[in-house]
Chain A
Amino acid sequence: MTAKVYYMDARGSSPQTSMVAKMSTVFEAAGFDSLIKPGDVVAIKLHCGEWNNTAYLRPVYARTLVDRVKAAGGRPFVCDTTTLPYNASPSRCTELDFMATAERNGYNAATLGCPFICADGFIGTDDYRVDLPEGYILKEAYIARAIAAADVLIALTHFKGHPMGVIGGAIKNLGIGAQSKRGKFNVHMGGHPKYGFSTDCVFHPENCKGRNGDKGWQMLEDSCPFGLIHVTDDSIEWQRDKCTSCIACLGAMLGRGIVELSAEHYQATNAAIADACLATTKAVGPGKVCYVNLAIDISASCDCVNFADVPILPHLGVFASSDPVAIDKACIDKAMETAGIQGSKAEDMGVLECGQRKFETCSPFLAGLSEETQLNTGEIIGLGTRKYELLTVAEKKMADFAFPPDPRPVGVRFRHIFAKHQPFPYDRHDGKGFLREEEVDLERVNTNYDD
């Protein structure tokens, strides 16, 4: 079976070729408006960006889909979920933190035209359990309640790299982003006897100098939100059997050489991401989930890191599909055939040329991870197919993207206003309006270069 992936490139030269217009155009071409019945509650799931990240999707993309959903008679909300603690200073770990970060990043009811909500509740435990016997590694998943309760789900994804997932695409947007905090512990192999962070890593307590030799010992001890780390006078104790794989301690542990990660923990998590994505589609319902990928501002790391580096690739375009595996595969293929950006990590890592795998070289924390693990797993479990037909969509008419509040010609809109509130001072300087030189030497300022 071959999936259809609708595509427009990222070049723009007119209102109808702007990225928001193209996103709207591929959404329509893919037939997604027909998923929405009058009265349907429609969840638009995106990544609202970490504190100090600047590569996440601008809110206007979600707003454009919100307007489409309303036009189709649906009742939209835009959402994201709480995170694992996952670093020393997480900014989206509870709903309070999450909302503060989202608002700072521009996500609120005023910009979106509908509610922006934390889909898994105050502490990330508001969820819906899904049985997953077909899962590759997960046999159950915990989906954020608001997403599981929606009639229709639009996965609006910023396609980019990811330190753990290698790619952050449609599969990960739902496979991590639609899971509650409890669900994220599950996907991250928390408590897993083989692939959990604590069971899979190598522990080097001998590298900890203890309270007597490490001035930062208190921060190290306090890095675990479950209180499982105890720094002794000359070393460290860690209750590994209770570790949840929240990985909040990693920043403190890795720099001191106290733990060493292996690729297996990451590989297992990446397979589980596809499982959890499938669970999300099961929770919402067959044929009720659609995917839009914006491959723009393609950073090596994810929107979940607290910075944004020079993009490794130029904007690739916008994709739409009913198949999350196919849409991510189409993005990866487009990235493969495109040259990397000089001065970015693609140059640092020697993958500037077309035909080189940009993501698995530049994005993961460890070598040995594949940018196609999520896709391979997804195909095995029936989430989707890697085989796709890329359908380039034609641009629509300019009039379709006119300023909606008042699409009349400018003369009709302003003639009577300007007649009453004249903005040009015709009554000054003999009708010329302003005091200016009659003529200047333009050549002098137009051709003066240092080189």
Chain B
Amino acid sequence: MIPKGIENADAIIEACRLTLAGLDSAEPEWKEVLQSVISAIEELKTKFFLKTNLAIPITNACRKDAVDLQSLAEKQDLSGFPEALARFRGNIEKLFKQANMEGITIT
């Protein structure tokens, strides 16, 4: 069963928290990004978008990125972290753009 948007959102938040825990001495900017994503996703969880099927593909992508970041942090393999974080930020931006649901047609 494919995960729904709301389940993906919870998984993204969890992965970000675990990543933060593994980034003790890392760049403060990375931590700021992850903290802001957690806050924004918590806010997004109150919106209807995450309950629609429209949310599934993009939250799947964000969840995968977040799990990748968590894995890098856990392994302390931070050489690939900036690239993975950039990919995550790009998909998070897409998520919030789609969540505006501009021009949506559902009939």
Contacts and interface: CB of A to CB of B under 8 A. Distances in A.
Interface of A: 50, 83-84, 86-89, 163-164, 188, 207, 247, 250-251, 254-255, 257, 259-261, 301, 304-306, 345, 348-350, 361-362, 364-367
Contact of A87 (B46, B47, B104): B104
B54 A257 contact: no
Name, among B53, B101, B105, the residue most crowded by chain A CB atoms within 10 Å (CB to CB): B105
Contacts of B103: 87-89, 251, 306
Contacts of A250: 104, 106
Interface string B36-55: 00000000001111011110
Nearest to B43: A257
A364 B105 contact: no
Contact of A257 (B47, B60, B107): B47
A365 B53 contact: yes
A192 B105 CA distance: 21
Given A163-B106, A255-B102, A366 B52 contact: yes
Contact of A306 (B52, B101, B105): B105
A87 B105 contact: yes
Given A50-B105, A254-B101, A348-B60, 8 more contacts: A251-B104, A257-B47, A260-B48, A348-B56, A348-B57, A349-B2, A362-B53, A364-B53
B107 A86 contact: yes
A254 B48 contact: yes
A345 B85 CA distance: 25
Contacts, number: 74
Interface in B55-107: 56-57, 60, 99-107
B4 interface: yes
A269 to B, nearest CB: 9
A88 B107 CA distance: 12
Contact of B57 (A88, A188, A254, A345): A345
B2 A365 contact: no
Given A255-B99, A348-B57, A350-B2, A366 B104 contact: no
Tell me whether chain B's interface is mostly helix, strand or loop, or mixed: loop
Nearest to A349: B2
Nearest to B58: A348
Contact of A365 (B57, B99, B106): B106
A248 to B, nearest CB: 10
Contact of A361 (B2, B105, B107): B2
Contacts of B47: 207, 255, 257
Nearest to A362: B53
Contact of A86 (B49, B54, B56, B105): B105
B107 A251 contact: no
B60 A365 contact: no
Contacts of A83: 107
B105 A254 contact: no
B41 to A, nearest CB: 14
The 3 closest A-B pairs by CB, nearest first: A348-B57, A255-B101, A257-B47
Name, among B48, B102, B106, the residue most crowded by chain A CB atoms within 10 Å (CB to CB): B106
A254 B2 contact: no
Contact of A163 (B56, B57, B100, B107): B107
Contacts of B53: 349, 362, 364-367
